[in-house]
């Protein structure tokens, strides 16, 4: 026997309920009223006749009243006889169903009928087993759930209307989240039988090896309800999809050259003959690019160099040409970037009167103004002395570079903080003039970590691993997915090793900071980035001149500076949102056998496509709720105790009462007839 | 009337009715009642032929002269009667569920009847008893006795345990002439002994009326819930649900009333069941009407 409502809660309620008449009885006895009485002898004689009987009657009434409340409490727990197949006289079978339909975009596959159409038909079969009044929940499951019906009493027309609204979303099927949501919906159902149906195309990517989280979720679902997996399928699984399309490198300014890469993947079982892919910028179609045959499971990268002459936001869409696969939704992919026609950069010079050789701003200006000519230059660099920096003017620039600035006072710090949070980019270079406490205190919210101090090569254990005779560090192998890291990785190893660092600023990174580049040997961070609201801060743990390293005279330096400009002002990575999850493009389905094997520990039922769905459902459906019977029983006991109470109280009928009164009236005056 | 127990409204309501006794009793005063003692009155009633033993002075000599026969003149003597009103003042009479206790009610009745009796120049005396005769006011026909009755009744202090029978026996011995005895009591005592007392009074030729005074709660027993009943006569307490024993109680009451009433009828005493919920004048009027009706029959 199981209970549809919390047994503990209702047992407590029932116990309280049963205690009520007992307490009332005791209080009733305790709070008796008092009166003086003259006719004690008459009363005593009446009691002799009735007292024993009264006690028995009291106990009987008390027991019956307790029984009424116990039965009601038991009925409220809604006990269910699990082995009872049909309602019959004993109770009723109320089936609560949660029907979850996979609404990920793979369900749109199909040349004729889509998988979603198949799913609707399968759901209709399930609904044929429901009775009027059964609580039904229909929910679409993709990345997040969309409820079509929630705990509604079954009505075929209403259910069909809801099914008509079932549609596919450009999302993946999130099995982990789905199980959690479904468990909640199952809990809401009130029925002697609870069933949960997962109507899905059972993609192998989701179902062949589901995660531990998903397994736990399914186990919970199977514990709370009878779990059915209802697979649907369509003919064929050939599918060519663009799985990635993104900015790769280059300048996004007017006249700059940028590279975008599209990845085309063959998810089918047969080699694709090849085709074409075209790129449109703001709906202006470019020249299609062809690609050759792609084997099953393989990908092809295709580069595009779009013409981004116009400033403003640019929407780029890569689309496959004519393609005969049955899933069109994944044949295109989008990216968006912001193209700026003019970028203003403020360079704050922390060492304006350096005696020997060019200072930091000299090298920075060279790297930032690369290939910029006269008035047509899209990048404007303004250099200022750190002591003459106007805090109120910072907001007029797109980027701020600060090199070896000695101190950051609170007014500058506030301006920089506001500037970054509104979307500006801040690039900081280290140097031996920096007053670290003032940085940590005033720029703590912007720095990607706490500045500790300057370390020089050969002063500590950082030399471990370096070759004997080495006098400086080199760049460590770039491993981050950050655009600057990827850019560095494009440079040959020999070229990277030519960059030598004698000193660096030690920094303890924050948790939300990204380490872009590191030094070899001690592994200390060289370049870090921290996102602060809409803007970001790049920190270089070396100088922007030749004091600590030869980076500024290495070809990598202008590349890093140019890429930093693009990265901080155009943010091409942000334009990837809204694209499809490529894993859904793999239409391969888990076999019924593998599903049964995977779900057998959960006692779940996999209903093969060819099987009689309605028959299997009805055959496995067991459970009868007996609360109605209990309530009827409680009512009968209640009526019985009411009848007995009336009987025991000996309330005289009007006839009996009038008879006694008449008798007393006749006796009122009797005048004796004397002889 | 200024006395507490002589309520003007009550007396006005009873006023038109005379207290009429069924039997002619002898009296020391000439009143409006017929007497069996012929020859004392001057009012001629009838002639009867002389028989030996008749007093010579009653022979009508004029009629002898005309008829040559001896006839004796008979006269209806007008007498008054003595009424003794015995009121139970035991603790059980202090019970009252409404505005008035049985004792208070009895006091009003006694005072009202005493007034009516004295008003027609008959004599009324009042006795108040609990275990024994507590106070007794000798019968008089002067209006001043009404004030005495009222005053004495105010002094009554109820005590437990009524023994009506002893009081009735005592009265039977005390009253030398036949008269009227009215008993006002709830009779919650030994019924058999009470009946013996009534028989004793009747044996002595007294005209007895029993006013059986009960409270409406005692008659109807309409209580609900759990009640603790504490006896007024030091007879303990009982806890019960009245509704559950009501029927049994009413049966006992009916039997009790029936027994007292039956004994009264058997002894040729009048019996009046008084419900203190009813107006006193109504009860008294009803009683007098019943008595007149019985006289006419």
* pLDDT tens-digit series, residues B231-274: 988 888 888 888 888 888 888 898 899 888 888 888 888 889 99
A38 with B230: Cβ contact below 8 A:
no
Select A343-569's CATH number: 3.10.180.10, 3.40.50.150, 3.40.50.880, 3.40.605.10.
Answer: 3.40.50.880
Q: Is A660 on the interface with B (CB under 8 A)?
A: yes
* Terminal Cα-to-Cα distance of chain A (whole angstroms): 87
ipTM above 0.85, yes or no: no
Q: What percent of chain A has pLDDT over 90?
A: 30
- Which of B189, B62, B144 lies closest to A42, judged by CA? B189
Q: Which of B228, B253, B272 sits opposite A42 (nearest CB)?
A: B253
Asked whether the predicted pLDDT for residue A85 surpasses 90, the reply is no
The superfamily (CATH) of domain A241-340+576-585 is: Immunoglobulins (2.60.40.10)
pLDDT tens by residue, B137-160: 988 888 888 888 888 888 888 877
Q: CATH number of the domain at A95-236+587-622, please?
A: 3.40.50.410
Q: Which of A47, A647, A653, A671 to mutate to test the interface with B (most CBs of B within 10 A)?
A: A671
What integer best gives the mean pLDDT of chain B? Answer: 78
The SS3 assignment for A321 reads: coil
CA-based R_g, chain A, Å:
41
Q: pLDDT grade, residue A377 (50/70/90)?
A: low
Kindly state the helix (H) or strand (E) to which residue A314 belongs, with its residue range: strand A312-320
Contacts of A133 (CB under 8 A, 6+ apart): A94, A153, A154
Q: Compare CB distances from A36 to B95, B223, B246 and report the shortest one's residue.
A: B95
Residue A656 is predicted with a pLDDT of 53
The residue of chain A nearest to residue B292, with distances taken between CA atoms, is A671
Distance CA A103, CA A119 (A): 10
What's the pLDDT at A465?
Answer: 44
B chain contacts of residue A33, beta-carbon cutoff 8 Å: 225-228
Place of tokens 């006569």: B233
Confidence of residue A566 (pLDDT cuts 50, 70, 90): confident
CA of A645 to nearest chain B CA: how many angstroms apart? 10
pLDDT tens track for B170-228: 888 887 778 889 999 998 878 888 888 888 888 888 889 999 999 999 998 888 888 89
Sheet holding B207-214, edge to edge: A669-670, B270-275, B207-214, B180-185, B82-88, B123-129, B133-140
| Residue A572 contacts residue A486 (beta carbons within 8 Å) | no
The answer to whether the CB atoms of A649 and B22 lie below 8 A apart is no
Among A32, A47, A658, A672, the residue to mutate for chain B (most B Cβ within 10 A)? A672
**Can you give the pTM of this predicted structure?**
0.52
**Per-residue confidence (pLDDT) for residue B28, from 0 to 100:** 29
Q: Does the pLDDT of residue A462 top 50, yes or no?
A: no
Question: Which tokens is A211 given?
Answer: 């995660």
Q: Rounded to a whole number, what is the distance in Å from the CA of B134 to chain A's nearest CA?
A: 20
Residue showing tokens 């200022």: A384
For A57-67, what is the mean pLDDT? 86
A587-616 pLDDT tens trace = 888 888 888 888 888 888 888 888 888 888
Does the beta-carbon distance from A57 to B244 stay under 8 Å?
Answer: yes
Q: Which residue has the higher pLDDT, B200 or A190?
A: B200
Q: Which helix (H) or strand (E) holds A568?
A: helix A556-570
pLDDT at residue number A509 = 94
Q: Are residues A238 and A270 in contact, defined by beta-carbon separation less than 8 angstroms?
A: yes
CA–CA distance, B222 with B242 (Å, rounded to integer) = 8
pLDDT of residue A102: 93
Q: Which residue of B has its CA nearest to A673?
A: B268
Residue B26, pLDDT above cutoff 50: no
Distance (Å) from the alpha carbon of B184 to chain A's nearest alpha carbon: 14
- Taking residue A88's Cβ as centre, other Cβ atoms within 10 Å add up to 10
Q: Mapping DSSP to helix (H, G, I), strand (E, B) and coil, where does residue A79 land?
A: strand
pLDDT at A251: 74
Tens of pLDDT, residues B85-137: 999 888 899 999 888 899 989 988 888 888 888 877 788 999 998 877 888 89
Residue pair A249/A572 in contact (Cβ under 8 Å)? The answer is no
Q: Is A611's Cβ below 8 Å from some Cβ in B?
A: no
Whether residues B261 and A673 touch (CB distance < 8 A) is answered with no
Residue A574: DSSP 8-state: G
Share of chain A above pLDDT 70, in %: 86
- Closest residue of B to A658, CA-based? B220
pLDDT at B12 > cutoff 60? no
**How far, CA to CA in Å, does A544 sit from each of A82, A402, A655, B279?**
77, 9, 117, 122
- Chain B hits for A663, CB-CB cut-off 8 Å, are 254
For residue B257, give the nearest of A28, A667, A674 by CB distance.
A667
What mean pLDDT comes out for the span A447-461? 85
Q: Please check whether residue A47 touches B, CB under 8 A.
A: yes
Q: Tell me whether residues A54 and B92 touch, CB distance under 8 A.
A: no
Question: Residue A271 in contact with residue A361, Cβ under 8 Å?
Answer: no
A29 has a pLDDT exceeding 70: no
- Domain ranges in chain A? 2-84+626-674, 95-236+587-622, 241-340+576-585, 343-569
Q: Rounded CA gap, A83 and B90, in Å?
A: 76
Residue of B nearest to A669 (CA): B272
pLDDT for A134-157, tens place per residue? 899 999 999 888 999 998 888 889
**Segment A619-644 mean pLDDT:** 85
Q: What is the pLDDT of residue A416?
A: 93
Closest residue in B to A648 (Cα–Cα): B244
- Let me know if the fold of A241-340+576-585 is the same as that of A343-569: no
B113 torsion bin: left (phi>0), alpha (psi -120 to 50), beta (else):
alpha
The C-alpha atoms of residue A228 and residue A180 are separated, in whole angstroms, by 16
Strand segments, DSSP code E, in chain B are: 33-35, 44-49, 71-75, 77-79, 82-88, 123-129, 133-140, 180-185, 207-214, 227-231, 237-240, 270-275
Q: Among candidates A326, A335, A399, A364, which has minimal Cα distance to A579?
A: A335
Round the average pLDDT of chain A to a whole number and report it.
83
Tell me if chain B has a CB within 8 Å of the CB of A49: yes
Token output for A101: 């339909």
The percentage of chain B sitting over the pLDDT mark of 70, rounded to a whole number, equals 80
Q: What gap in Å lies between CA A586 and CA A297, rounded to an integer?
A: 9
Cα gap A119→A124, rounded to integer Å: 9
CA dihedral of A555, A559, A560, A561, whole degrees rounded to 10: 110
Q: How far apart are CA A400 and CA A417, in angstroms?
A: 12
- 3-state SS of A403-470 is ECCCCCCHHHHHHHHHHHHCCCEEEEECCCCCCHHHHHHHCCCCCCEEEEEEEECCCCHHHCCCCCCC
**Cβ atoms B238, B259 nearer than 8 A:** no
Contact B248 A49 (CB under 8 A): yes
Specify the pLDDT at position B42: 43
Which of helix, strand or coil describes residue A193? strand
pLDDT of residue A552: 92
Lookup: tokens for A658? 């009038």
- Per-residue pLDDT band for B20 (boundaries 50, 70, 90) equals very low
Query: What pLDDT was estimated at residue B29?
Result: 34
Distance (Å) from the C-alpha of residue B263 to the closest C-alpha of chain A?
11
Measure A643 CA to nearest chain B CA, in Å: 14
Q: Which helix (H) or strand (E) holds A36?
A: strand A33-37
Verify whether the Cβ–Cβ distance A50 to B228 is below 8 Å.
no
- Residue A109, classed as helix, strand or coil, is coil
How far apart CA A264 and CA A300 sit, in angstroms, is 5
Tally of residues, chain B: 297
Give yes or no for A674 touching B (CB within 8 A). Answer: yes
pLDDT (average), residues A36-47: 88
The mean pLDDT value for A463-467 works out to 46
Q: Which of A254-268, A490-504, B183-197 has the highest mean pLDDT?
A: A490-504
CA B255 to chain centroid, in Å, comes to 23
Residues of A whose CB is below 8 A from B277: none
Which A positions 52-111 lie with beta carbon below 8 A of chain B? Answer: 54, 57
Distance CA B137, CA B119 (A): 17
pLDDT the model gives residue B52? 82
**Confidence at residue A674, expressed as pLDDT on a 0 to 100 scale:** 44
> Is residue B13 within 8 Å of residue B281, measured between CB atoms?
yes
For residue B294, list chain A residues with Cβ-Cβ distance below 8 A.
671-673
């Amino acid at each position: 026997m199981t209970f549809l409502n919390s047994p503990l809660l209702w047992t407590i309620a029932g116990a309280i309920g049963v205690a009520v008449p007992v307490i009332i009885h005791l209080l009733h006895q305790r709070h008796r009223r008092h009166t003086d009485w003259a006719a004690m002898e008459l009363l005593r004689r009446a009691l002799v006749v009735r007292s024993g009987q009264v006690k028995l009657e009291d106990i009987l009434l008390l027991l019956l009243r307790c029984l009424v409340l116990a039965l009601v409490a038991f009925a409220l727990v809604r006990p269910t006889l699990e082995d009872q197949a049909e309602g019959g006289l004993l109770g009723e079978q109320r089936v609560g169903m949660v029907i979850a339909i996979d609404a990920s975009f793979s369900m749109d596959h199909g040349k004729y009928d889509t998988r979603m159409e198949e799913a609707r038909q399968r759901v209709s079969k399930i609904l044929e087993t429901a009775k009027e009044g059964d609580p039904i929940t229909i929910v679409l499951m993709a990345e997040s759930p969309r409820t079509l019906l929630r705990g509604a009493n079954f009505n075929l027309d209403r259910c069909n209307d809801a099914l008509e609204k079932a549609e596919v979303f450009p999302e993946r099927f999130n099995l982990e989240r789905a199980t959690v949501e479904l468990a909640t919906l199952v809990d809401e159902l009130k029925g002697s039988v609870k069933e949960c149906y997962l109507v899905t195309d059972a993609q192998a990517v989701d179902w062949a090896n589901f995660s531990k989280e998903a397994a736990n979720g399914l186990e919970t679902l199977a514990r709370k309800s009878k779990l059915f997996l209802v697979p649907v399928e369509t003919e064929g699984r050939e599918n060519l999809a663009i799985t990635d399309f993104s900015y790769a490198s280059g300048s996004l300014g007017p006249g700059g050259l940028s590279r975008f890469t599209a990845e085309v993947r063959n998810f089918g079982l047969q080699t694709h003959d090849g085709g074409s892919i075209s790129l449109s910028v703001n709906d202006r179609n470019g020249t299609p690019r062809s690609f050759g045959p792609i084997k099953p499971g393989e990908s092809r990268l295709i580069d595009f160099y779009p013409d981004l002459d116009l400033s403003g936001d640019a929407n780029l869409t890569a689309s496959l040409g004519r393609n005969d696969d049955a899933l069109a939704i994944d044949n295109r992919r989008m990216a968006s970037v912001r193209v700026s026609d003019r970028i203003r950069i403020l360079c704050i010079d922390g060492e304006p009167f350096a005696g020997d050789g060019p200072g930091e701003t000299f090298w920075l200006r060279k790297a930032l103004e690369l290939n910029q000519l006269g008035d047509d230059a899209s990048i404007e660099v303004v250099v200022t002395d750190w002591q003459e920096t106007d805090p109120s003017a910072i907001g007029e620039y797109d980027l701020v570079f600060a090199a070896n600035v000695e101190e950051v006072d609170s007014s500058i710090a506030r301006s920089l903080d506001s500037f970054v949070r509104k979307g500006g980019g801040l690039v900081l270079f280290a140097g031996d003039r920096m007053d670290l406490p003032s940085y940590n205190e005033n720029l703590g919210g912007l720095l990607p970590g706490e500045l500790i101090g300057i370390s020089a090569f050969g002063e500590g254990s950082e030399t471990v691993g370096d070759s004997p005779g080495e006098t400086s560090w080199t760049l460590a192998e770039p491993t981050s997915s950050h655009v600057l890291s990827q850019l560095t990785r494009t440079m040959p190893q020999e070229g990277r090793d030519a960059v030598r660092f004698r000193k660096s600023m030690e920094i303890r990174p924050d948790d939300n900071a990204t380490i872009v580049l590191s030094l070899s040997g001690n592994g200390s961070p060289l370049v870090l980035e921290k996102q602060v609201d809409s803007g970001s801060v790049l920190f270089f743990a070396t100088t922007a001149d030749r004091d600590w390293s030869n980076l500024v005279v290495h070809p990598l330096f202008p590349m890093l500076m140019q890429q930093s400009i693009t990265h901080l002002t155009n943010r091409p990575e942000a334009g990837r949102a809204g694209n499809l999850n490529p894993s859904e493009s793999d239409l391969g389905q888990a076999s019924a056998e593998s599903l049964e094997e995977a779900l057998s520990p959960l006692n779940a039922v996999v209903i093969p496509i060819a099987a009689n769905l309605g028959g299997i459902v009805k055959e496995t459906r067991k459970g009868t709720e007996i609360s109605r019977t209990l309530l009827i029983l409680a009512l009968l006991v209640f009526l019985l105790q009411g009848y007995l109470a009336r009987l025991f109280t000996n309330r005289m009928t009007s006839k009996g009462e009038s008879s006694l009164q008449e008798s007393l009236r006749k006796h009122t005056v009797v005048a004796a007839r004397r002889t | 009337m200024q006395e507490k127990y002589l309520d003007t409204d009550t007396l006005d309501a009873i006023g038109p009715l005379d207290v009429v006794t069924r039997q002619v009793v002898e009296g020391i005063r000439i009143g409006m009642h017929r007497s069996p003692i012929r020859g004392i009155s001057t009012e001629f009633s009838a002639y009867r032929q002389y028989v030996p033993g008749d007093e010579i002075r009653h022979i009508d000599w004029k009629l002898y002269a005309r008829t040559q026969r001896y006839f004796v003149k008979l006269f209806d003597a007008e007498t008054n009667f003595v009424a003794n009103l015995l009121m139970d003042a035991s603790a059980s009479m202090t019970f009252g569920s409404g505005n008035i206790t049985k004792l208070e009610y009895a006091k009003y009745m006694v005072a009202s009847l005493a007034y009516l009796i004295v008003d027609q120049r008959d004599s009324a005396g009042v006795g108040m008893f609990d275990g024994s005769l507590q106070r007794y006011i000798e019968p008089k026909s002067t209006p001043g006795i009404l004030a005495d009755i009222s005053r004495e009744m105010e002094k009554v202090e109820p005590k437990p345990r009524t023994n009506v029978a002893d009081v009735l026996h005592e009265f039977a011995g005390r009253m030398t002439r036949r008269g009227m005895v009215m008993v006002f009591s709830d009779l919650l005592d030994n019924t058999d002994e009470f009946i013996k007392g009534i028989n004793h009074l009747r044996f002595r030729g007294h005209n007895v009326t029993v006013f059986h005074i009960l409270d409406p709660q005692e008659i109807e027993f309409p209580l609900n819930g759990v009640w603790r009943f504490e006896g007024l006569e030091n007879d303990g307490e009982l806890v019960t649900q009245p509704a559950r024993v009501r029927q049994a109680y009413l049966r006992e009451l009916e039997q009790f009333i029936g027994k007292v009433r039956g004994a009264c009828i058997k002894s040729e005493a009048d019996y009046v069941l008084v419900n203190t919920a009813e107006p006193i004048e109504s009860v008294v009027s009803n009683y007098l009407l019943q008595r007149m009706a019985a006289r006419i029959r």
